[in-house]
Amino acid sequence: MSTDKLSPDQDSRAREFEALFLTRLMSVGQKNVATSVELSESAITNWKKEGLIERFCKALVVMDLQVVPSEAQCHPAKYIDALRTLAELGLQAEHKRPGPLGWD
């Protein structure tokens, strides 16, 4: 990206990443995370105080990366668009379907 500032869309995505990060940090436990990466719990607290998590999430957006929960399934946009098209065609066909014939 050639500009210094994030676009409103990028800024929104970065905030979503940060919220997910902080939510998961709370659910897993700051102490558990700190121990697993060989840091003190206060070091993780400093990440939050110093805005390191926020800046890291913005960097992820600039690099066009995504943060998602491990249970999420990610698919290419073309695949999702194809599924959406097929679903729309199916719904259109369903609306054109004749009603019951009377002897069903």
How buried is residue 60: exposed, middle or buried, by Cβ count under 10 Å (0-12/13-18/19+)? Answer: middle
**Eight-state DSSP code of residue 54:** H
Cα–Cα distance between 83 and 94 in angstroms, integer? 16
**Eight-state DSSP code of residue 101:** -
Residue in this structure with the two tokens 């990466």, named with its chain if needed: 37
pTM of the model: 0.68
Q: What is the pLDDT along the chain (104 residues), one digit of tens a residue?
A: 344 689 999 999 999 999 999 999 999 999 999 999 999 999 999 999 999 999 999 999 999 998 888 888 888 999 999 999 999 998 888 877 777 766 65
In terms of phi and psi (left: phi > 0; alpha: psi -120 to 50; beta: otherwise), the region of 36 is alpha
Domains identified in the chain and CATH numbers: 8-71 (1.10.260.40)
Q: Give me the pLDDT at residue 46, please.
A: 95
